[in-house]
Amino acid sequence: MAPSEPSTQSPPPLSTTDGEPATPTESEPLLGGPGDAFQKPDAPIFLNLVLGTAWLSQLGALLLLIATWSAVFLHKLGALISPHPLLQSLGTFLLIQAILVLQPTSTPDAKRLGQRIHASLHLLSFLCFVSGITIIETNKHVNHLAHLHSLHAYLGVITGTLLLAQYVFGICIWAVPAVLGGEEKAKSLWKYHRYAGYGLLVLVLATVAAAADTDYSRNVLKIKGWTFGLGIALVVLGVYPRVQLRKLGIDRVRQEATRAV
């Protein structure tokens, strides 16, 4: 969940064969061919949301959102409990969009625009998460209910805390690099922010999976566990194959050239 670092460098070198469109080599994703997760210079940034395998993530994100919202509104609403799944599922949906829109950016202009959209979506996601947590904690306090009585609750606390740290880390690198030792030092930290972001997405999805097994979800909302399982699987299949190894500090092209020598 990391905005890409500002860069004055040109995009990765392109190559052509037999008249085929130029494709990036050093931006090859974790899975798939070169260009599967690469935003072309003249392409609108919002196409990044469905580029390559991203459409699978969109299906998964929509399935999680629709399954949650339909379950809530088809049952009796509670002022201090119903908003929690609504807000948390919306926050998760926005978080996934924030990742997808930034992943394929390559040129400096696209990166800068991607950063702003990425940060804005994460801000909205964060506000949803905080609001949802506040409401459910208020419900527990008012009704004298136990705190941290389920795996979902424990994962929620852990994930929420780490997300806050990740947001602060990303903002410092992007907006105030001086606090990290200057712009060059901050740039060197981007890959760690990305590693943390992809790891945190796993925690977010694990928290979602655990939510389907709570008493409220099973006994009140009647949520089917398979819908959450399918949605999570689609999100994973859409996001992680698009990971650009170069942005994680892994240069596949040079590694293969070294092995060949």
Q: What is the pLDDT of residue 9?
A: 44
Instruction: Label residue 211 by pLDDT band (50, 70, 90).
Output: very high
Q: Is residue 27 part of a domain?
A: no
Does residue 12 belong to any structural domain of this protein? no
Structural domain containing residue 64: 46-153+197-260
**Residue 227 falls inside a structural domain:** yes
**Assigned domain for 204 exists:** yes
Average pLDDT, the chain: 86
Question: What's the angle, vertex CA 208, arms to CA 70 and CA 32, rounded to 5?
Answer: 105
Tell me if residue 75 falls in helix, strand or coil.
coil
Question: Residue 16 pLDDT > 60, yes or no?
Answer: no
Q: Residue 251: inside a domain, yes or no?
A: yes
69 by Cβ neighbours in 10 Å (0-12 / 13-18 / 19+) ranks as middle
| 38 in a structural domain | no
Inside any domain, residue 82: yes
Considering the chain, what percentage of its residues have pLDDT values greater than 90? 70
Reported as half-sphere exposure (CB side, CA atoms, 13 A), residue 105 has a value of 26
pLDDT score recorded for residue 209: 97
Share of the chain above pLDDT 70, in %: 82
SS3 state at 40? coil
Give me 180's structure tokens.
């990290």
The two three-digit tokens of residue 244, written as one number: 């650009």
Q: Which residues of 131-159 are buried (b: 16+ CB within 10 A; e: fewer)?
A: bbbebbeebbeeeeeeeeeeebbebbeeb
* Cα(56)–Cα(185) distance, integer angstroms: 36
Tokens of 106: 């390559």
The pLDDT value recorded for residue 36 is 67
In a domain, 173, yes or no: no
- Predicted TM-score of the model (pTM): 0.85
The total number of structural domains that make up the chain? 1
Lowest mean pLDDT among 143-147, 167-171, 175-179: 143-147
Give the pLDDT of residue 5. Answer: 44
Q: What is the mean pLDDT of residues 11-23?
A: 40
**145 φψ region: left (φ > 0), alpha (ψ -120 to 50), beta (else):** beta
The pLDDT of 149-171, averaged and rounded, is 94
What would the pLDDT profile of 25-76 be if each residue is shown by its tens digit? 456 677 666 556 788 888 999 999 999 999 999 999 999 999 999 999 999 9
Check residues 15 and 257 and name the one with the higher pLDDT.
257
CATH number for the domain harbouring residue 103: 1.20.120
Give the pLDDT score at 144.
85
